[in-house]
Amino acid sequence: MTQTLELFILIPFQGFVLSLFIPAQREGLISKIVFGTVGIHLAGFQVFLVYWLLHGYPTLNLKEFVLFKSLDYEFLIDFYFDKITATYLFVGSVLTFMVTIYSRYYLHRETGYKRFFNTILFFYLGYNIIIFSGNIETLFIGWEVLGISSFLLIAFYRDRYLPVKNAVKVFSIYRIGDVGLLLAMWMSHHLFHENITFLKLNNYELVHNHLQAHSWVGVFISLMLLIAAAAKSAQLPFSTWLPRAMEGPTPSSAIFYGSLSVHMGVFLLLRTFPFWEHQLSIRILIGLMGLFTSILATGMARVQSSVKSQVAYSSIAQIGLIFIEVAAGFHYLALFHFAGNAFLRTYQLLVSPSVVSYQIREQFYNFIPRQHTIEDSLPKRIEFTIYMLCLKEWNLDAMMYNYLWNPIKWVGKKLGYLNTTRVLLFFIPVFVVGVVLLMNKEFVPATVQPYLPVTFSIIGVAMVLKSFTERLHARMSWILVLLNHFWVALSISFNAHFDYTHTVLYLSGIAVFGLIGYFALRRLKNLEGSIDMNRFHGHVYKHPKIALVFLISCLAVSGFPITPTFIGEDLIFSHIYEDQVILAFLTALSFIVDGLAIIRIYARVFLGPHSKSVYEMGYRSS
């Protein structure tokens, strides 16, 4: 029984790969492959489910394979199956199956038909990796897949401004969640000295023993997990991304942002529950977060005057309640609530265009001029204040800007004096000196040594901040992103003694795909002239192939699980010690901003309205 688990990953993976090779004109074939993949998956699961139930629904764990192993480090792929997986798989496969059939007709003749279904399968693959994952590392792979496919689905209408802008926005919130997960992985590695599986987390003795000695470590890990969960499930303070994600075709919004994607945070909490079960403060915190979210989101849902944002906020409110249920330990209720909420919101979004004829008819026959709402009984000043705050989404969106992105941009602007030549003239020699010192560590005074990692790390962060705020040259921005990784590698190499193969592993993907990406940009520049970063250029319109190559390079460089760099990233973290919070923070920061800078380059250069075909493009606010 355990061995069959891998099938549930393999089926969507094969379907996805297969779907990539179908010519875009063959609508029928594409939809058949998608239908077949999801259909077989659903049917297979039903059979498995019956079998599993008949055998007393045991918890299954499959140690799949070890991707990388060194003395003190092991990157392990592990699969797991229990009631939580079963519920998530049931809801996910049923909804995905129905929505793929729905979309077969709905998307007929739409430009990007193939792209849509590729992305759906990719998403479904990521979803399955997450729910079947047996450890955080495996889960993280799915998490990344989900993030990218969300980005691609929101920016499905890539030649309009708003979808692209919102896709970047959502991606940046996801990125925060990713780093939460990365840091949680880092710390738990130090805590357990292994890639702990979820199965072992169920072992109370083991967890308890480890936590007793390092209680703040436990709190730190739980907090990071909570950040990841809150970002993915649109809880406070991240809530505003969800309504903004409703930019793709209605069925994709329905299934991902109405139901599956947005409940992944709940999944993460359920999965890691044994770990924080005995940390009362964390449980209270999760409960409070859910409570505040559900209250504020309900208020925001009440004032929404567009049908999709209304559904989005009411879904967030329900997920807030689910957070409370999870924190309180009512897991069956939480699972039941998740399933019901997912089905309900999906259907509500799918029928949302009908709201006009339905409500107008209702109004025509039952119009009552003005209904007294509960808020009217409040004092006017309070009522107006709350109304305005709800309409402004409690300034949450502005807060994200002010406290998160603006400081980053501010620092980046301070680095405005850097240009390509200066970067090369100053930083390359410094880097070379760094490498030389690294080779000859014995010459470095012992008192200086501890400061070097942080210093190099700061330089790396500076690189990536500059890249993120670069306004003139796309290629410059790209080079800075690449250089950042080299600084990170240098910094960590000073921090710990380890094999050079680790560095090679980490930098291999970056170097190869960095070059490929660089040449893609250079080719584009030769064809289209200079590309600034001040606006969207939409070059995918004329150069879809270059765009694809560059997208793959972007994924590789940002540590997506297609090159060894992915493992390298985790590995790098494992060489930061648990008391080096500053270094961990800097490295994490450079990873966050790095991902953002990369997606920014891709979006600005390739997405948005094509700057050279003004008459055929949608206008800015359309």
Partner 1 sequence: MISSTSHAFDEHEVLHKLKHYLPAQAPLKDFIHHNTLHAFQYLKFDKAIFSASAILGYKVSLTLAEYREHFRTGRIKEPVLDRIITQKKGRDNLQEWKDKLLTANYQRPSPRIGMLRSNWKKLHQVDLDSLVHPLLFRILCSYLDQGIAIWNFPVWNKGFLTAIRDLEKTSYTSFFRTPRAKELLLKGHCSVQQLLRILVGFNEHLYGQYIFDQQFAHQGWSGMVATVEANPETLLDHRKISLHDLIAFELLLEIDALDYHFGESWLPLEQALPTQPEELFAEVVVTELDEVTMLWQEAFEWSYYDEVLAGIQHQSPNGIVKKKSFQALFCIDDRECSLRRYLESEDTNCETFGTPGFFGVEFYFQPDHGKFYTKLCPAPVTPKYLIKEIGIRRKHKTDAHFLKNTHSLFGGWLIAQTIGFWSAFKLFLNIFKPSMGPATATSLHHMDKQSRLTIENKHPEHTEKGLQVGFTIDEMVVRVEGLLKSIGLIKDFAPLVYVVGHGSSSVNNPHYAAYDCGACSGRAGSVNSRVICFMANHPVVRKRLAEKGIVIPEHTQFIGALHDTTRDEIVYFDEDTLTVSNKELHRYNEGTFLNALHLNAKERSRRFESIDTNSDAGEIHEQIKIRSVSLFEPRPELNHATNALCIIGRRELSKHLFLDRRAFLNSFDYRVDPEGNYLFNIIKAAAPVCGGINLEYFFSRTDNQKLGAGTKLPHNVMGLFGVANGIDGDLRPGLPSQMIEVHDPVRLLMIVEHFPEVVLKTIQRLPETYEWFINEWVKLVVIHPETKMLYTFRGGLFERYTTLHEAVNPIADMEQLIETSHDNLPVYELQR
CB of residue 83 to partner 1, shortest distance in Å: 17
Least distance to partner 1, CB of residue 574, Å: 41
Q: Between 280 and 360, whose beta carbon lies closer to partner 1?
A: 360
Angle (CA) 592-596-500 rounded to 5° is 55
Of 309 and 574, the one with the shorter C-beta distance to partner 1 is 309
Closest distance to partner 1 from the beta carbon of 135 (Å): 31
- C-beta of 116 vs 427, nearer to partner 1: 116
102 or 585: CB nearest partner 1: 102
The CA R_g of the chain, rounded to the nearest whole Å, is: 25
Closest CB 530 distance from partner 1, rounded Å: 17
Residue placing its CB nearer to partner 1 in the complex, 398 or 582 = 398
Give the residue from 518, 519, 515, 463 showing the smallest Cα distance to 489: 463
Distance CA 101, CA 551 (A): 28
Of 76 and 270, nearer to partner 1 (C-beta) is 270
Would you give the DSSP letter of residue 220? Answer: H
Q: Measured in Å, how far apart are the chain's first and last C-alpha atoms?
A: 52
Nearer to partner 1, 85 or 259 (CB): 259
Beta partners for 79? 62, 133
Task: Return d(Cα 602, Cα 553) in angstroms, integer.
Answer: 10
Residue 343 neighbours by CB under 8 Å, 6+ apart: 91, 95, 259
Rounded Cα gap, residues 311 and 322, in angstroms: 16
State in angstroms the smallest separation of the CB of 488 from partner 1: 32
Q: How far apart are CA 123 and CA 148, in angstroms?
A: 8
Task: Compare residues 44 and 249 and give the one whose CB is closer to partner 1.
Answer: 249
**Shortest distance, CB of residue 369 to partner 1, whole angstroms?**
7
Tokens of 245: 């994600």
CA distance 601 to 607: 10
Label residues 270-301 b or e (16+ Cβ within 10 Å = b).
bbbbbbbbebeebbebbbebbbebbebbbbbb
CB of 487 to partner 1, least distance (A): 30
Q: In whole angstroms, what is the distance from residue 471 CA to residue 7 CA?
A: 47
Q: What are phi and psi of 279, to 5 degrees?
A: -100, 95
Pick between residue 388 and residue 548 the one whose CB is nearest to partner 1.
388
CB 280 → partner 1: shortest distance, Å?
25
Tokens of 99: 């929505």
Distances in Å between the Cα of 436 and the Cα atoms of 255, 433, 449, 460, 494 are 53, 5, 14, 18, 12
Run of H or E including 77:
strand 74-81
Q: How many CA atoms lie within 13 A of 559 on its CB side?
A: 30
Angle between helices 280-303 and 307-328 (to 10 degrees): 160
Q: Taking the complex as a whole, how short is the minimal distance between the CB of residue 27 and partner 1, in angstroms?
A: 8
Using the minimum distance from each CB to partner 1, give the nearer residue, 434 or 538. Answer: 538
Task: Name which of 113 and 220 has its Cβ closer to partner 1.
Answer: 113
- Tell the burial category of 334 from Cβ atoms under 10 Å away from its Cβ (0-12, 13-18, 19+): buried
Which of these, 535, 556, 419, lies nearest to 476 by C-alpha position?
A: 419
Q: How far is the CB of 21 from partner 1 (least distance, A)?
A: 23
- Residue 548 CB, nearest approach to partner 1 (Å): 22
The answer to whether residues 610 and 603 touch, using CB atoms and an 8 Å cutoff, is no
Least spacing, CB of residue 263 vs partner 1, in Å: 12
Between 249 and 287, name the residue whose CB sits nearer to partner 1. Answer: 249
